[in-house]
Amino acid sequence: MKITIPGKVSETAAKIFKENGFDAEQKAGVEIDEFNKMSKDSDAIVVRSYKLHELKFEDNLKAIGRAGAGVNNIPVDKCTEKGVVVFNAPGANANAVKELVLCSLLLSSRKIVEGINWTNSQEADEKLNKLVEKNKSQFKGNEIRGKTLGVIGLGAVGMLVANDAVALGMKVIGHDPYISVDNAWKLSVGIKKADDMNKLLEKSDYISLHVPLVDRTNGFVDKKFLSKVKQGVRIMNYSRGEIINAEDIVEALKKGVVSRLFTDFPDEKFHGVENITLIPHLGASTKEAEENCAVMIADQLIDFLKNGNISNSVNFPNCVLEKNGSARITIINKNIPAMIEKITAALGAEKLNIEEMINKSRGDIAYNIVDVNGDVTEKALEKIKQIEGVLRVRKLV
């Protein structure tokens, strides 16, 4: 099987694929037309920031792996229609993002960057020490210990930020109506839960945003949100740029409602605005994070291509089954009534005995792993493909 890797993905991914018998082709800096030719025979594609919205989908393409969490650079809906499973690597870069958030908490409080820039702008002579002592008071800040941090979104990153902020002596309030059971167990006992987000906004000296970009969160931080925050709040955004309404927060900064904004997503509307610190999308830019993402996405794709198992897909349900039979068939179909009965009937008609089967659905799509004993012929596979609503069938021995 062939894996194509454009753009800047850690070479560890290609190494893992090759060690597992895959033909992994990695080439950075290719244009989309060249990439379409390069990936013509690919079974899977692995990307980091490379944009695939103009990708030509070949019939052999089975999966796309995003070596990171966000999938804005991948046409997910089109992938689903084509029966292409999109994987991401949630949590693999969480520690890197968390550390940058903690850095921002400190930088937003102490005017450290401003002080360094001022010092570097002075003449290097014998008067520098006296000049520093005379002017250092303008960079006086405050400590974060004892202050209140509101964390909106307690996923992989938000949970880590909340826990470490408690360890640094902050009071932490968390809000996430969709928190997973696993993350809830991992939260420090010192974190207070806010069922009503307005309570969090009223009490927080700092707010850290960790929500996904979906329709309901586009422009999430707007006039209504900002009308409820504590005067002088400092806001950190390491989610997505579109989470914040640029015009509304610039107005809030000018009025002093918000005292500082740190964002990992530079916007032309923010450029040159006082008290906004623009970080050039460095949240996951550590060697460790890139390695973690590469390993995680490679392992998931290998398990899918070899065994049909799905873990951490953004458009298909998680579906994992230990092999129990002489052959395995995976089936992608529309989530409509009577599909399982039709699939099992087709298998029975070809004298294939089902040893074990798992069916999972997500929205309009369903995925089946079927372990059978018997000779899985092309005729049997074709019979399943002919069932109305079936999008893709694979045989795995």
What CATH number does the domain located at 321-397 have? Answer: 3.30.70.260
> pLDDT value at position 107?
95
| pTM summary value | 0.81
Of 77, 50, 79, 38, give the one whose Cα is nearest residue 62.
79
CATH architecture of the domain with residue range 1-93+286-316: 3-Layer(aba) Sandwich (3.40)
Domain ranges of the chain: 1-93+286-316, 94-278, 321-397
* 160 neighbors 94 (Cβ within 8 angstroms): yes
Q: Per residue of the chain (397 residues), give pLDDT as tens.
A: 999 998 888 899 999 999 999 999 888 878 888 888 888 899 999 998 889 999 999 999 999 999 988 888 999 999 999 999 999 998 899 999 999 999 999 999 998 998 999 999 998 888 888 998 999 899 999 999 999 999 999 999 999 999 999 999 999 999 999 888 888 999 999 999 999 999 999 999 999 999 988 889 999 999 999 999 999 999 999 999 999 999 999 999 999 999 999 999 999 999 999 999 999 999 988 999 999 999 999 999 999 999 999 999 999 999 999 998 889 999 999 999 999 999 999 999 999 999 999 999 999 999 999 999 988 999 999 999 999 999 999 999 7
Structure tokens belonging to residue 159: 């949970």
- Phi (first) and psi of residue 179, to 5 degrees: -60, 140
CA distance 99 to 175: 20
- Cα four-point dihedral sign 125, 131, 133, 137: negative
> pLDDT value at position 182?
87
CA distance 46 to 192: 39
**Fold of the CATH domain 94-278:** Rossmann fold (3.40.50)
1-93+286-316 and 94-278 in the same fold: yes
- The DSSP element (H or E) to which 361 belongs, if any, is strand 353-362
Residue that the structure tokens 């994070």 belong to = 289
Structure tokens belonging to residue 233: 């709040």
Which residues, in sequence order, are bridge partners of residue 5? 26
Which residues, in sequence order, are bridge partners of residue 358? 369
